[in-house]
Structure 1
Amino acid sequence: MDQDITAILFDIRLDDTGQFDMEFDRADFITAGRLGNLMTTFLSSEQARLGDHIRLRLINPTPDRIFEIRIDGLTGFCVAYDGMPLPELVSLGNLKLAPAQRIDIIADVTGDVILRETVPSGGEELGGIMLNGQRQIRSAPIAPLPANLVPAPGEITQTADLFMQGGAGDGAHGGFGGWAFNDVSGLPNKPLISARRDEAVQVRMVNDTAFPHGIHLHGHHFWETDQNGARTHLRDTTLVAPGETMTIVCVLDNPGAWMLHCHMLSHQADGMATWMQVS
């Protein structure tokens, strides 16, 4: 590997004078979140040689922005989601990252590496890694990363439903905030699931709202599942589109009280949070 480069996606709201805008509007909480008017990328390296074999680690730490990224100048594959290696390589296309999500890429540099946000502007440049020199082009194929040691789920011992409620245009719910899980805004007194260590549990997440939500579980990774119930990607944050249902399976192998919340932090602050207890 010639370089290991971190790309931190950033979303900033500036006022008319070009200073950080610290004001909040009520609409920020009950719509898509507090979105900025300037998107950029902080890169740990901004130069590479033509032919360099690199690992590019995309990170979305923004409060609310969902990025949809296209990367020019690379030939390669996605090799990991949220720090968990993929069993099969995933081709590079438009890459969607909700807040807290990460994507690792292994690729060869074929030109200036330009990161572009495809929505809503259709190609706004976020940053780039410029060519400086050249090396011999590699011929070896890219292989998947070794798998991390994670416990495979056995029999599902508990199931729970997580209904996402609230936001602009949604009907009333039982919580006090603009958002709620299962008619509760903020952390409830009782956990969504109380389990013993190493139990395998299933949570059906139902997005009945008009907005997407990136649901993040602390202390664990979980499997997303497809429409047939088959396990797919191992992640700690899943993006659930409006009207979509996502079922996850998790082995709760880490004792503690673990928050499960929307990582659009404006949504979390206004109600979208619950927790799991592992003893």
Structure 2
Amino acid sequence: MTSSAIGRRALLRGAALAGGSLALARWFPAWAQPVSAGIAPDMPMLSGEEIAMRIAHQPITIDGRTSHGIAMNGTIPAPLIRLREGQNVRIAVTNALDEDSSIHWHGLLVPADMDGVPGISFPGIRPGETFVYEFPVVQSGTYWFHSHSGLQEQLGHYGPMIIDPAGEDPVRYDREHVIVLSDYSTMHPHLVFRRLKQQGGYFNYQRQTVAGLLDGRDQSLGERLAWGRMRMDPTDIADVTGSTYSFLVNGHGPEDNWTGLFRAGERVRLRFINAAAMTIFNVRIPGLRMTVVQADGLNVRPVPVEELQITVAETYDVIVEPEDRAYTLVAEASDRSGMGRATLAPRAGMTAPVPALRERPLATMRDMGMGDMDHGDGDHGQAGDGVDHSAMGHGVPSVQGAGSGGEMSHSMRDFSNAPGVARTPTVQSIAPMPVDRTGEPGQGLDGVEHRVLTYRDLMALDRNPDIRAPSRSLQLHLTGNMERYMWAFDGVKFSDFPDPIPFRQDERVRITLVNDTMMAHPIHLHGHFFELVTGHAEFAPRKHTVNVAPGGSVTFDVTTDAVGDWAFHCHLLYHMHAGMMQVITVRPEGDAR
């Protein structure tokens, strides 16, 4: 069914089937059990061929404080939807809000009219109406779903989805826990956005101080003066911070301390989903090594690490083998303004020490797109584009190295011109010498002593389905103006109605994203997976979301095999809302459109 409204009888039938599926759960196969393999009992589950969901206002209580949220079927996060590869599913979604809503199935390969983006793939779900999403399930892995309407995602409109493989799962485990990471503010999201428009650093309470200058923790006086002349703030790592956010694990605040149980000796699968609106998390479990086995729902060759950075909208599955004691699961905000905290334990009521927040990071010349000027390593290429940026007037400011107090002879504002980038107020700067940073662990993690996951560590478990060489290449710049809080692709905001980026069906294209800003941007492509160009050839990791580091670049190859119009955007909610979104259109060969 593709119509947006269904009759009362059909809706009641769907609700009855969904409710009945829970009542008959003990007769389900193992993969469909609500608490199968140790899934948290406080996370309700929906499964089967017919599912009913209701979007409505809901109070949310975090660490003893109650505020307003938007829930699905009365819970935040929404109930876990568990499906099986090869099945068909019909999900009837009723909107009980007083505004339009939607659900986007993040990372799922569905027909374009089922993708759930109002204005692009369907009209949205109006108040009081029901829309039936119907699609075949053609993949397996860890995914999630969320609103693509307004700023509802920030209020709790998101939930996890697990799709079990049709055959044997190559990942061996005895128990699993779904770990949904998110952020929540008692401040209404539209007010948060208004504050950001008034002052880009409104929520940054970690600026440099005189005390930091005296004890050497922060920049030297010379460095501060140089950054000040550029009107740049090296502490500006995250737009919305722990000053207003609570960081949640499965809807629980740090004091609530969500706990996942295990038996000593088990192989426990943790399915991490970053459902935050704006927060990039650094995840670790002190005293317990994690082995990464899946990224964005697709299996990868096992990688043992002690920490990983999970950007907004990514998923990672890891295997841990805990001993008979409690462990603290730490999800630290990348700017270190706060953390989400949970416990893994063999028995209820056990806890482990909670580590203190680590020293907050400072942006560097590298984060400003000035290459390796304050690093003696890395790729000295310029975004892989073959362009001589110095010939375009993008001369590199002269500095004397990191921490030297050297002065910069140019302002980043001098670098506001590049091929294909519109000269608009959304282009505050162009990175003069961006480099591929996929071999780096993430902002603020390059100095830790243990192993941290990087994109270059990832290799697909199976050979990629399309290993053709790209027939053409495309470069896109991620641009912004922090002072006016404007974000865009190539200097053009989505509200300015840019032309869709055209592709032909089954075309093989190499795309390079160049980040001309000082902020990280998790870029998500709807309807497709792409292969990161990280040196692994036919075993390149396939993803649907990639974090583009400040002043860095990311290159990927994509086969545009899904006909239709698809959203392509930064998954930082307020960046997307402020304009960093585009549409790619895929048309069959011979289609004149």
TM-score (norm 2): 0.40
Q: Which residue of structure 1 aligns with residue 467 of structure 2? A: 153
Alignment equivalent of 1:90, drawn from 303, 312, 327: 303
Residues 102/181 of structure 1: CA separation in 2 closer, same or farther (3 Å cut) = same
Residues 50/72 of structure 1: CA separation in 2 closer, same or farther (3 Å cut) = farther
1:13 equivalenced with 2:185 (yes/no): yes
Q: Superposition pairs for residues 115-264 of structure 1, below 5 Å?
A: 115-118=329-332, 119-121=334-336, 124=339, 126-132=341-347, 147=461, 151-168=465-482, 178-186=486-494, 188-192=497-501, 194-226=502-534, 232-264=540-572
1:78/1:92 contact within 8 Å kept: yes
Which range moves more in the overlay, 88-97 or 148-157? Answer: 148-157
Rounded to whole Å, the distance in 2 between the matches of 1:278 and 1:130 is 48
Q: Which residue of structure 1 aligns with residue 272 of structure 2? A: 58
Q: Which has the higher contact order (CA 8 A, sep 6+)?
A: 1
Identity between Structure 1 and Structure 2 (%)? 27
Aligned-pair distance for 1:14? 3.5
Rounded to whole Å, the distance in 2 between the matches of 1:55 and 1:80 is 10
Rounded to whole Å, the distance in 1 between the matches of 2:556 and 2:550 is 17
Rounded to whole Å, the distance in 1 between the matches of 2:533 and 2:460 is 22
- SS in structure 2 opposite 1:267? helix
Rounded to whole Å, the distance in 2 between the matches of 1:82 and 1:52 is 24
2:459/2:541 contact within 8 Å kept: no
Give the AA of the match of 1:131. P
Larger radius of gyration: 2
Runs of 4+ that moved beyond 6 A: none
Q: Which residue of structure 2 aligns with residue 138 of structure 1? A: none
1:2 equivalenced with 2:174 (yes/no): yes
- SS in structure 1 opposite 2:576? helix
Give the AA of the match of 1:163. H
- SS in structure 2 opposite 1:50? coil
Aligned-pair distance for 1:45? 6.6
Q: Which residue of structure 1 aligns with residue 35 of structure 2? A: none
Aligned-pair distance for 1:4? 1.8
Rounded to whole Å, the distance in 2 between the matches of 1:205 and 1:21 is 28
Give the AA of the match of 1:157. S
* More helix as a share of residues: 2
Rounded to whole Å, the distance in 1 between the matches of 2:520 and 2:552 is 9
- SS in structure 1 opposite 2:278? coil
- SS in structure 1 opposite 2:192? coil
Which range moves more in the overlay, 53-62 or 110-119? Answer: 110-119
TM-score (norm 1): 0.80
Aligned-pair distance for 1:58? 0.2
Residues 214/277 of structure 1: CA separation in 2 closer, same or farther (3 Å cut) = same
Residues 122/276 of structure 1: CA separation in 2 closer, same or farther (3 Å cut) = closer
Alignment equivalent of 1:28, drawn from 173, 196, 204: 196
Residues 183/97 of structure 1: CA separation in 2 closer, same or farther (3 Å cut) = same
- Which consecutive residues of structure 1, in runs of 5 or more, have no partner in the other structure? 134-143, 171-176
Residues 200/272 of structure 1: CA separation in 2 closer, same or farther (3 Å cut) = same
Q: What do you get for the CA RMSD once the two structures are aligned? A: 3.0
Rounded to whole Å, the distance in 1 between the matches of 2:563 and 2:193 is 38
Q: Superposition pairs for residues 75-86 of structure 1, below 5 Å?
A: 75-86=289-300
1:213/1:262 contact within 8 Å kept: yes
* More strand as a share of residues: 1
- SS in structure 2 opposite 1:132? coil
Rounded to whole Å, the distance in 1 between the matches of 2:577 and 2:330 is 30
2:270/2:319 contact within 8 Å kept: yes
Q: Superposition pairs for residues 92-107 of structure 1, below 5 Å?
A: 92-107=305-320
- Which consecutive residues of structure 2, in runs of 5 or more, have no partner in the other structure? 1-172, 202-237, 252-257, 349-457, 588-593
Rounded to whole Å, the distance in 2 between the matches of 1:168 and 1:49 is 49
Aligned-pair distance for 1:222? 0.8
Rounded to whole Å, the distance in 1 between the matches of 2:559 and 2:476 is 17
Rounded to whole Å, the distance in 2 between the matches of 1:107 and 1:47 is 13
Q: May I ask how many residue pairs the two structures share in their alignment?
A: 256
Residues 47/243 of structure 1: CA separation in 2 closer, same or farther (3 Å cut) = same
Rounded to whole Å, the distance in 1 between the matches of 2:264 and 2:459 is 23
Alignment equivalent of 1:68, drawn from 251, 271, 282: 282
Give the AA of the match of 1:38. S
- SS in structure 2 opposite 1:99? coil
- SS in structure 2 opposite 1:23? helix
CA deviation digits over 1:188-246, x for unaligned, max 9? 44222x222221111110000111100000011111123x6957421111101111011
Rounded to whole Å, the distance in 2 between the matches of 1:121 and 1:211 is 15
Residues 121/272 of structure 1: CA separation in 2 closer, same or farther (3 Å cut) = closer
- SS in structure 1 opposite 2:575? helix
- SS in structure 2 opposite 1:266? helix
Rounded to whole Å, the distance in 2 between the matches of 1:167 and 1:129 is 42
